[in-house]
Structure 1
């Protein structure tokens, strides 16, 4: 009997497509890091800091290290490097002046917008073609995959 491949079904095709998207986004992030003399972890840190700012959450070095899977020394070196490059700054917490938080500098935001802006605009344009029900389904799927990946 000839070796026939079973039909993977639309679900597995979508999972494979998601993997391909993740690979392409990783390569895109690596190009950004390379063009700006950054380590890929620097890019991940800036993304984590911008996500926290969008959520209205302060990010201490401890929280940042936890989000990136770094130890204390590695996180300090990362923040020192980004601070020297003018990408982030350490500031006192609004709610507790004893606490130091890390914020993304506007220069880093502008650099990111210049590089990632066209990709973001394309993604937003694609999403504008879907209705609210479809957007909810896409959001639910992506949230579920993100949570599953975070669980490891």
Structure 2
């Protein structure tokens, strides 16, 4: 396949953005004594909160592809650091829910805030229809990537 086609240019740009975000996440993890998996866990938990999805250790383990022992160790570590809180589900007392503590949100915002602000500013420069096209493209890429990962 010709690497210079417009479609392949998008693939290469998307890969470059992914690599940069990954490097930024690794730098954040290193500065704060976290493992890269800790950062991915916090992202999943924040995404769950944003979508009003009840986050449980089992769900988090599935998202991260960790076994039960690995998930427990991860949650224990994040809880000791004051970044995550466990609580009992009021609807089902047997179920444990996970919530990101405000400390983690502040820590993330202090590190990633400027790049988030820059991305928002870039997005604001686009017309609504252009943003919708970008959203559809990224959503489709995400779905394709998830399909590849699950096969």
Which residue is 1:18 aligned to? 14
With normalisation by structure 2, the TM-score equals 0.94
Question: 2:82 & 2:137 partners in 1: Cα distance?
Answer: 36
Question: 1:33 & 1:141 partners in 2: Cα distance?
Answer: 29
Which residue is 2:30 aligned to? 34
In structure 1, the residue corresponding to 2:71 is in which secondary structure? Answer: helix
1:110-129 matched pairs, under 5 angstroms: 110-129=106-125
Taking only aligned residues, the RMSD between alpha carbons, in angstroms, comes to: 1.4
Q: Where does the alignment leave 5 or more consecutive residues of structure 1 unmatched?
A: none
Question: 1:137 & 1:95 partners in 2: Cα distance?
Answer: 40
Which residue is 2:129 aligned to? 133
Which residue is 1:8 aligned to? 4
Deviations 1:89-144 (A, max 9, x none): 10112432331111101000100000011010000000001111111110011011
Which residue is 2:43 aligned to? 47
Are positions 1:82 and 2:54 aligned together?
no
Which residue is 1:106 aligned to? 102
Question: 1:64 & 1:52 partners in 2: Cα distance?
Answer: 10
Q: 1:56: Cα distance to partner?
A: 0.8
With normalisation by structure 1, the TM-score equals 0.93
Question: 1:150 & 1:45 partners in 2: Cα distance?
Answer: 17
Question: 1:95 & 1:47 partners in 2: Cα distance?
Answer: 25
Structure 1's consecutive aligned runs of 4 or more residues displaced over 3 angstroms after TM superposition are none
For 2:88, which of 82, 92, 97 is the aligned residue? Answer: 92
Question: 2:21 & 2:3 partners in 1: Cα distance?
Answer: 27
Q: Where does the alignment leave 5 or more consecutive residues of structure 2 unmatched?
A: none
Which residue is 1:63 aligned to? 59
Question: 1:148 & 1:83 partners in 2: Cα distance?
Answer: 33
